Amino acid sequence: MIRRLSWLIIFSLLPLALVTGCGEMGKVDQGRVIAFDKAKGVVTLIQDKKAEPGAPDYNTLPPHTYTIPEDPKEMGPEPKPGLRMKLDAKAKEIVIFDPATQNFKTIPYSLIDQREGVGRSDPLVAGKTFPVIDRDKKTITEYSSRQRLLVTFSVPDEYFNLPPETWEAGDEVRIYYKEPGKALRLMNITRTDIFKK
């Protein structure tokens, strides 16, 4: 609990420190993880340009790469990578990061089914792992907890055989650093409940 509170204090004071020109506190980077190499101790993310709760904007290139903290106590749960940057239900599009081109790609989809207002504890999603890829029906079912959206869709054949992580949203992480590319602290926002006792 004390460690969680210290994280909260540090991250809440950093914007003020940066505005007042105090460089002693270091800097913060936040974004969605697209790659995590545990053996090499390296995490790569797409920066959330706005860093506004509930309204992320993952469209900053190039990706940011950091070595993870040397002290295991300064790192939360290991981040799960994923390449999905945006699920746009209105436009019926998914924006992914394409490792081959090191750029974003927008993939249109054909809607099969969509359920809105689906919370994490809903029986439709609770205890299930997404995406669900049905190769016989050529459908993909994805769940966005932030959007409370469960959607089943099909994509053009050229995209259907992409790896499952293409359709997954990577964990959101917050990194505190002083040297570029070297994380002193790494908080997995997606998998850390800072208010849990």
CA distance 29 to 183: 9
CA distance 78 to 41: 10
CA distance 197 to 195: 6
- Of the chain, the percentage scoring pLDDT greater than 70 comes to 84
pLDDT tens readout for residues 101-153: 999 999 999 999 999 999 999 999 999 999 999 989 999 999 998 899 999 99
**Tokens at 60, concatenated:** 């900053």
Identify the CATH number of the domain defined by range 2-76+172-188: 2.40.50
Backbone angles phi, psi at 110, to 5 degrees: -100, 125
CA distance 13 to 59: 26
CA distance 135 to 80: 24
Cα distance from N-terminal residue to C-terminal residue, the chain: 6
Letter for the amino acid at 183? Answer: A
Letter for the amino acid at 45? Answer: L
Letter for the amino acid at 108? Answer: P
Beta bridge partners of 105: 96
pTM (whole model) above 0.85: no
Q: Taking the domains of the chain in order of start, what are their residue ranges? A: 2-76+172-188, 84-166
pLDDT tens readout for residues 61-98: 999 999 999 998 999 899 999 999 999 999 999 999 99
